[in-house]
Amino acid sequence: MITIEFEAPKFEKCNCCNAKITQLTRFVYQDNEAFAYYYAKFEDHNDPKVVECLVVLCEWDENNEEIIKKTGFPLKIWVKDDNYNITLTDKDECPWKNIPEVEILDREQSLNHLQKSDVFHITDHIVGEDKEVIAYFEN
């Protein structure tokens, strides 16, 4: 079972138009164990509305004491015909492409990754439970 720990959002203003930019950091647990985290970013002035995300899956050592690998999956979320849509993107399109110690994948690598289904499982929870993301698309 996946659960998400929701940190308080951070806000800034767009340099060109002063629109609000929201940035989120969320921690994901699977069966009460740390499993992943994600960043999300969206701007009030985007039309159509798009949420940029980076889902980072964590691989732990055999004692579950130390993270030995972090793999990042950049993606975008948008709504079309009342349905959420998710697309994996290239790392060059990712606002967090320079995070140290995270191997950020390109689209083709993400599509062929063995844990791709885990990423989409997390995105199902994002669009179903993350109130900030849901409110962005509803307003």
Token readout for 26 is 């969320």
Could you report the per-residue pLDDT of 8-43, keeping only the tens digit for each? 999 999 888 888 999 999 999 999 989 999 999 999
Average per-residue pLDDT for the chain: 95
Q: What is the mean pLDDT of residues 79-101?
A: 94
Burial class (CB in 10 A: 0-12, 13-18, 19+), 59: exposed
Tell me what pLDDT residue 46 has.
Answer: 86
Token readout for 103 is 């191997």
Residue 37: count other Cβ atoms within 10 Å of its Cβ.
Answer: 21
- Name the pTM for this structure: 0.94
